[in-house]
Amino acid sequence: MSVIVDAPKASPKAKPVWARFMRWETLLALLCVVMMVGNSLLSPYFLDFGNLSDATANFSEQAIIALAMALLIIARDIDLSVASVIAVCSLAMGLLAAQGFGTPVLMVAALALGLACGMFNGWLVTKFALPSIVVTIGTMSLFRGLADIVLGDKALTHYPPLLQAIGQNYVASWLPIPVSFAVFLILALVFAFVLHATPFGRRLYAMGNNPVAARFSGIPVNRIRFILFALTGLMSGLAAILLTGRIGSTRPNIATGWELSVITMAILGGVSISGGSGTIGGVVLAVLLLGFTQFGLSLVNVPEIVINILQGVMLIVAIGVPLLLQRLRGRR
Amino acid sequence: MFSRRHLLQVGGAAALVSSTSLPSLAAGKELRIALVVKALGIGFFDACHEGGEQAAKQLGNVKVIYTGPTKTTAEEQIAVIESLIAQKVDAMAISANDTNALVPVCKKAMARGIKVISFDSGIAPAGRILQINPSNNTLIGAKCVQMIAKTLNYQGEIAILSATAQATNQNIWIGKMKEELKKPAYAKMKLVATVYGDDVADKSYREMQGLIKAHPNLKGVIAPTTVGIVAAAKAVVDAKLTGKIFVSGLGLPSEMKAAVASGATDTFAIWNPIDLGYTAIMVAAQIAEGKTTGKPGSVLHCGRMGDLKVTPNATVAMANPYTFDKSNIDKFAKIF
């Protein structure tokens, strides 16, 4: 077993990669500072604890999924079905709530169904050796289609007060931040620990850098991939609980387009789309950068389409700059 | 280099934005009212915005913030509303992407003193003070009869081409049309048939052909459906009966341009989005200024739209549907 743990360390590339990542996070942190200062100058309403705290509710659900997505992308996989999993989980909660079940049952059901959807993805990917992008494009339509068929143009809107409180309330009166943001922060710590301080985390980097070598060094590659898909599904189920509670309504188009926002958070956070590198710290910074940029610009009523363009540019730069640097370094 | 480029972008956006938004902060007692639509870039809502600006100009102390999400989803619209709450706007008039999903965020807005009303597509009662409907069933039914009666000079056989036989709103309107037809002014007019085109273009077309064959003395057809009216007008043109049979009802100007040009349709109606946006801002401004609570029973003064009374279930019916004919269709066909 010690061979496996040591494998990534033995790689000669390990040090420069790590060094580069320190710089990426520094850059993100600087951008965050620039963004905070810029937004404060733009609008007198930005630098207000209550407003900033409330704004986190708009992106925390996506951010929770981004944590799991980061691990998945580091290990060279991707899951495009996350938003559709939210739709299915929210649908299940709505149907159960209509039958009179209480909040605990709804929460367990959403988590279990999310987990099951993730396991289904993982099973297809590992059992049949299919590319994850293809499988999850398929399940994206499949899960969303289920919600479409069951709901049609109707909506499920009767949810118990406790569930709505979880989605809409603060943690406590002395800690006025949304429950979803607190959940995100706690999970970020857990994910950071798992990724950066356990053998499991190091195996992900090994798999991302060289899956074949990882398999030959005894890493149970497929089992780990299965676990990562299941984990992503579970996080989508959790996001479904928070989102459904927040808006108190389930329609088939719930969370449409979220998969791309989630992936953007991970990539901008420095997770390499070709796998093998990225940190949770970077993802957290990217979440804050994207979320507060959006909030700040919408405070001065910049049309969302312009904000989307800005975010798109940020993403292209995030992917392009490291590649350019690498190429320049190679030439030298 | 990377960070500098980004800085430039943010700076550029800042310059662009501050030039438009800062004047509003300078003025003292100005009311900031947000017109929140289902999504930006929709002609109908751009027309609502135009009406809102007309109201603002007339009132003098109102600044309209026209905003909405990119996609017609509740989640994005909620994010927009959150940012308006943070900006402490005075009032919001919202066309909702989801009746229920907007209730929590709108409740929060109202708890912080922001006056929330909905227009066009309503929010559930718990999430708004009142809902402005573009019209009401009685007005729509009466308008349909009045238009065709005027074209036919109050005499001759007419028929109705509806959507599906189960369509709730269609059946209510047909009921109201029959009530209107009982008035003495229409004594020389006779309703000979009601047929159903199911809001499918070719079925509506065939039903219209059937009407023409079965009733040789037919003079006019009322189609209170945007699909049916287009199909019926086309059937009249194809049968070379323009000038002998007239089609009226509810339609969209952009789709009805050809029918009006050919003469198959003299007049038709639909709610006017410019008036709707005008009324929404008028109502929101009054409530924000505390001139009225907007509670059921109160009367709202809406400038050129007249006085509107809030019904017991907290809705307001704006006006008669707006009539379109040769004189104005070109202008509105560009809008919606």
The pLDDT assigned to A213 comes to 94
Residues B110-149 have pLDDT tens digits of 999 999 999 988 899 999 999 998 888 888 999 999 999 9
Domain assignment present for A8: no
Among A284-293, A301-310, B63-72, which stretch is predicted with the lowest mean pLDDT? A301-310
Asked if A298 and B25 come within 8 Å (Cβ–Cβ), the reply is no
Through-space distance between the first and last CA atoms of chain B, rounded to whole angstroms: 46
ipTM > 0.90 (yes/no): no
Can you tell me the distance from the alpha carbon of A47 to that of A53, in angstroms, rounded to the nearest whole number? 10
Q: At A186, is the secondary structure helix, strand, or coil?
A: helix
Q: Show me where the domains of chain B are located.
A: 27-135+273-319, 137-270
Contact B39, B71 (CB under 8 A): yes
| Same fold? B27-135+273-319, B137-270 | yes
CATH 3.40.50.2300 fits B137-270, yes or no: yes
- Whether residue A31 lies within 8 A of chain B, CB to CB, comes out as yes
From residue A215, give the alpha-carbon distance in Å to each of A17, A124, B133.
22, 19, 65
Instruction: Tell the burial category of A32 from Cβ atoms under 10 Å away from its Cβ (0-12, 13-18, 19+).
Output: middle
Asked if B69 and A304 come within 8 Å (Cβ–Cβ), the reply is yes
Instruction: Calculate mean pLDDT across residues A188-200.
Output: 97
Residues A303-321 have pLDDT tens digits of 888 888 988 888 888 778 7
- Whether residue A47 lies within 8 A of chain B, CB to CB, comes out as no
Contact B95, B37 (CB under 8 A): yes
Which domain, by its residues, includes A309? Answer: 47-321
Asked if A257 and B71 come within 8 Å (Cβ–Cβ), the reply is yes
Can you tell me the distance from the alpha carbon of B14 to that of A46, in angstroms, rounded to the nearest whole number? 14
Which residue of B25, B37, B40, B98 to mutate against A (max A Cβ within 10 Å)?
B98
Can you tell me the distance from the alpha carbon of A241 to that of A237, in angstroms, rounded to the nearest whole number? 6
Residues A164-186 have pLDDT tens digits of 999 999 999 899 999 999 999 99
- Predicted confidence (pLDDT) at residue A15 exceeds the cutoff of 60: no
Determine the distance from the C-alpha atom of residue A105 to the mean position of all C-alpha atoms in its chain, rounded to a whole number. Answer: 25
- Whether residue A243 lies within 8 A of chain B, CB to CB, comes out as yes
Residues B185-216 have pLDDT tens digits of 999 999 999 999 988 889 999 999 999 999 99
Angle at A270 between CA A268 and CA A274, to 5 degrees: 105
Query: In 3D, which of A291, A226, A303 has the Cα closest to residue A32?
Result: A291
The b/e string for B188-205 (b: 16+ C-beta within 10 A; e otherwise) is ebebebbbbbbbbeebbb
Residues A131-146 have pLDDT tens digits of 999 999 999 999 999 9
Q: Residue B275 is which amino acid? A: D
**Regarding beta strands B307-309 and B299-301, do their DSSP bridges make them parallel or antiparallel, or are they unpaired?**
antiparallel
Residues B266-277 have pLDDT tens digits of 999 988 889 999
Domain assignment present for A23: no
Can you tell me the distance from the alpha carbon of A125 to that of B289, in angstroms, rounded to the nearest whole number? 61
Domain assignment present for A127: yes
Instruction: Calculate mean pLDDT across residues A196-219.
Output: 95
Min distance B121 CA to chain A CA atoms (Å): 15
Number of independent structural domains in chain A: 1
Q: At B64, is the secondary structure helix, strand, or coil?
A: strand
| CATH placement of domain B27-135+273-319 | 3.40.50.2300
Can you tell me the distance from the alpha carbon of B209 to that of A235, in angstroms, rounded to the nearest whole number? 58
Asked if B74 and A299 come within 8 Å (Cβ–Cβ), the reply is no
Residue A86 binned pLDDT confidence (cut-offs 50, 70, 90): very high
Domain assignment present for A19: no
Q: What's the token pair of residue A83?
A: 């938003």
Alpha helices in B101-194 (DSSP H): 103-111, 137-151, 168-181
CATH of the domain at A134: 1.10.3470
Q: Give B2's contacts in chain A (Cβ within 8 Å).
A: 27, 317, 321
Query: In 3D, which of B123, B119, B113 has the Cα closest to residue B55?
Result: B119
The pLDDT assigned to B184 comes to 93
Q: What's the token pair of residue B300?
A: 């709202």
Of the candidates A249, A302, A310, which has its C-beta nearest B101's C-beta? A249
Can you tell me the distance from the alpha carbon of B48 to that of B65, in angstroms, rounded to the nearest whole number? 12
Q: List, as ranges, residues 265-324 from A with C-beta within 8 Å of B.
A: 294-295, 297-306, 308, 310, 313-314, 317, 321
**Regarding beta strands A175-178 and A170-172, do their DSSP bridges make them parallel or antiparallel, or are they unpaired?**
antiparallel
Domain assignment present for A330: no
Can you tell me the distance from the alpha carbon of A238 to that of A97, in angstroms, rounded to the nearest whole number? 17
- Whether residue B4 lies within 8 A of chain A, CB to CB, comes out as no
- Predicted confidence (pLDDT) at residue B166 exceeds the cutoff of 90: no
